[in-house]
Amino acid sequence: MTNKTLSDLHPNQECKIHSIYGGRNVNKRLYELGLNKGAKVKVLKNDVGPIILSLSGNKLALGRGLADKISVV
């Protein structure tokens, strides 16, 4: 696991998903939504509440607890 997670990123920062440690069901759901290893995402909002990401042009809101479990590079 790299040290950086999604919740560490600032708005407009781009990154690649490294791994997701959310538990079996959640992992699968995220994979199915296209948030897979190597997927390029851009953080749009990260202050309070869920984090908003842009994933190939679509907006996805992820809870903070979950964002903590997604490591990025």
Give residues in contact with another protein (CB under 8 A). Answer: 22, 24-34, 36, 44-45, 47-50, 52, 54, 56-63, 65-66
Distances (CA, A) of 54 to 1, 23, 24: 23, 23, 23
Smaller CB separation from another protein, 18 or 26: 26
Tokens of 40: 């390029």
Query: In angstroms, what is the minimal distance from the CB of 12 to another protein?
Result: 11
Smaller CB separation from another protein, 33 or 73: 33
Distances (CA, A) of 43 to 24, 25, 34: 24, 23, 15
